[in-house]
Amino acid sequence: MDARDTEVFQKVGGAFAESMASVFSMLTGREFQVKSAPGELLETPAIAAFHEATGILVKANYQKGLNGTLFFTLPLKEGTMLVDLMLGGEGTSAEDLVGDSKDALAETFNQIMGSANQTLSDLAGETFAIAHVDILAVTPDAAAFAEHLGPGAFQDIVLPTSQDSLNTTVHLLLPDLLLQQLKRKLGLAEAVPAPVPVSVAATLPAPTRQAPMASGPAPDAGNLDLLLDIQLPVVVRMGQTEMQMGELLKLTPGSILELNRSADAPVELLVNGKLIAKGEVVVVDGNFAFRITEIDTRAARIRSLA
């Protein structure tokens, strides 16, 4: 493993370890510790061998910034214990993962992917996002895993996960194509060799002397014209709150969520996740709209989005 491989595993593994620890701790109200270490390049039979009994396979399909699917796998027993903790239990295991339990675990890994992707997006300078997460219970044989993983080898990143009543190992599995994309996006791909200069024979005829061409002014490096057509996500944020997974699953039509912002406080305008303005919500032609009351200078906005 060269220095570039080591660095990409540290960045990717670190992002997911930090995200998992944060999300598990927040949703269960208990402190989780998650570490990361690079594993081996594995074929499907070796992945199936992680489990003596039924395992959980989590599929996360990228739709922005990256192409492909990454996977997590963990034992079914510990996966159901985790869900029980999130739902306010004491970490009791179950024989299967269905209904609300399956939905709870899917939402958990959605949050993990969102948080880790934000960290990786900041490192890469572009947005990574997934379309959805699938939760599958898979029997511990190579054929069952191969059906869902597909062909090829997978780089394993080991994520030992511990809490007072739960200790397990989650494996993050990266297909080679996705791993190579991450290396390029994070600036850790192997550099392309420079072309070898070719010597020119001294017997070649000298080129005909021509009058020098007039040159215009050097291009302005600070010119923003090339950036003005870039599309950026714009979000109007009225407020936010935190909920336990058990409370989230109890929501029904008509439920009311209390936000962390008073009714007369200004609403925030975020561009690419960065706060650039404040204002108020109004109605224009039957549609909601946003009226700006405070905004940074143009230079400050450019710096905040850089």
pLDDT for residue 225: 61
Looking at per-residue confidence, does 201 or 37 come out higher? 37
Give the three-state DSSP class for 22: helix
Based on the fold, state whether residues 180 and 282 are members of the same structural domain: no
pLDDT in tens, 57-82: 999 999 999 999 999 999 999 999 99
Average pLDDT over the chain reads 84
Interhelix angle for 3-28 vs 176-185, to 10°?
Answer: 100
Specify whether the CB–CB gap between 240 and 260 falls below 8 A. yes
pLDDT for residue 191: 54
Q: Among residues of the chain, what percentage have pLDDT more than 70? A: 85
| Element (DSSP H or E) covering residue 287 | strand 287-295
**Structural domain harbouring 276:** 232-239+260-306
Based on the fold, state whether residues 173 and 265 are members of the same structural domain: no
What CATH number does residue 290 fall under? 2.30.330.10
Beta strands in 65-124 (DSSP E): 68-75
Domain stops at, among 185, 200, 224: 185
What total number of domains does the chain contain? Answer: 2
What CATH number does residue 30 fall under? 3.40.1550.10
